[in-house]
Amino acid sequence: MSTIDRRAAAGAGYPWLLIALLWAVAFLNAADRSILIAVMPTLRTQFGLTDTQLGLLNSVFFWIYAVTAFLAGRLGDSARRTRVILYGLVFWSVCTGLTSLASGLAMLLAFRGTVAFGEAFYYPTATALISDWHKPAMRSRALSLHQTAVFAGAGVGSVVAGRMADRLGWHAPFLIFGGLGLVYAVFLIRFLRDAPIAHTAAERDAPRDPLGIVFRIKPALMLCVIFFLGTGASTGVTVWAPTYVHDKMGLDLAGSALWGSATINLAGFLSVPLGGLLADTLARRTPIGRFYTLMIGLGSAGLLLLPLLWAGTAAQVGAVLLATSIGKGLFDGCIYASMHDVMPPHARATAVGMMTMLGFVGAGLTPIIVPRIAQSYGMAGGMTSVAGLYFLAVAILFLMRGPTRRAVLANSRPAEA
């Protein structure tokens, strides 16, 4: 039975059911990692932590996530993808709940690291599974709809976690969100399915080892660098925005999360599908349409971040964060589909794992760099400085248009029977 016949036999509606099923997993993935950001001011007071130590809590998460994501990508191309997703969900949910037992910086670092280890198994494998089930013409939209869960989870998770912490103590959100993940994992066992993998002509002369294919395709390596720059820039803002609003405006944890986190994630939630739609539209006109969308998104994110220097109220800060995050959302809406444009199916999880690894290395650096810059130029200056990373990424994408076009065209031809 051909790949198309087997997909039809599985049910024409299953690719979109899969998006719904994985949307909830991605929501929990983002919500669980956002709890710490929401309760940072309370942890700073209770455990006597400095801003650098708070930044280190986030950096350790991203660095462990980075290394694990690379390994998880290799696993996602060699094991059943559905099993990798399920086992990861169970592991990080348990570790999220255990974080409530922390009694100081060392335990917070340890539990934060284990949560990162578990969560890293999700995204490389999940995006590959989505692309297995969805045709290239709809791939950006499918992946971007899934990506909205990241912003919904981070936004809703941080606000809800802040409110829980205000009323019940900082331990409560870790316990409750961890329990929700375990319950959903039991539900997911019945419905999650692997798809048969189709092969492309780009694999014919390529190494069979997925990692060898990634190193052979220059635009894939370029996207790893772009993700390093873009994720590093956005994380430098995302980690410190709620604390910046809390300290500058004197708001409680819930209010700080509302203006400093929910605005970012609301923008992403709304603009990521637009990024997917724009990318699919441009991809019908030019092979590198998705890459032009990346440039538009990153350039807009950098320009719209600059007014943060003059924002004087919580509402003004929220408006700037909303605007810059719309641009970043356009980027997020097509980054995974862009990587899949240049990578053959059997190496996609590995490629996304490597891209995620470098992206989260960048994400681990900026939470430490921003407060260092803030010592001289203020926190607004520290956060605004990351706009330079956005602009550098745009320049690289522009200069790599020719090799990118050739890689997309090579990967679009099906393998001969």
**Closest of 84, 167, 162, 91 to residue 129, by C-alpha:** 84
Whether residue 400 is predicted with pLDDT greater than 80 in this model: the reply is yes
Residue 81: the pLDDT is: 87
Q: Please list the residues that pair with 200 across neighbouring strands.
A: 414
Eight-class DSSP state of 313: S
The token pair at 154 is 């981070």
Distance of alpha carbon 53 from alpha carbon 45, whole angstroms? 12
Whether residue 123 is predicted with pLDDT greater than 90 in this model: the reply is no
Distance of alpha carbon 83 from alpha carbon 129, whole angstroms? 11
The token pair at 374 is 């803030």
* 201: CB partners within 8 A, 6+ apart: 410, 411, 413, 414, 415, 416
- Give the Å distances, CA to CA, from 401 to 6, 26, 336, 404: 36, 31, 17, 5
- Residue 50 binned pLDDT confidence (cut-offs 50, 70, 90): confident
The rounded percent of the chain whose pLDDT value lies above 90 is 46
Mean pLDDT of 298-327: 94
Continuous segment of H or E residues that includes residue 361: helix 348-384
**Closest of 390, 287, 286, 388 to residue 331, by C-alpha:** 390
**Closest of 187, 198, 225, 155 to residue 348, by C-alpha:** 198
pTM: 0.75
- Sign of dihedral through CA atoms 315, 316, 317, 319? positive
Beta carbons of 89 and 178 less than 8 angstroms apart: no
Continuous segment of H or E residues that includes residue 404: helix 401-412
Least confident of 9-13, 54-58, 182-186: 9-13
DSSP 242-302: HHHHHHHH---HHHHHIIIIIHHHHHHHHHHHHHHHHHHHHHHH-TTHHHHHHHHHHHHHH
- pLDDT, one tens digit per residue, over 322-351 is 999 999 999 998 998 899 899 888 788 888
- pLDDT, one tens digit per residue, over 189-242 is 989 988 765 555 555 555 567 788 888 999 999 999 999 999 999 999 988 898
Residue 99: the pLDDT is: 92
Beta carbons of 268 and 346 less than 8 angstroms apart: no
Residue 1: the pLDDT is: 35
- pLDDT, one tens digit per residue, over 343-385 is 888 788 888 888 988 988 888 889 889 989 999 999 999 999 9
Residue 3: the pLDDT is: 43
Please report the domains of the chain, with CATH numbers, ordered by start residue: 15-194+209-410 (1.20.1250.20)
205 or 91, which is more confident? 91
- pLDDT, one tens digit per residue, over 239-284 is 889 888 888 888 887 788 888 888 888 898 889 899 989 998 999 9
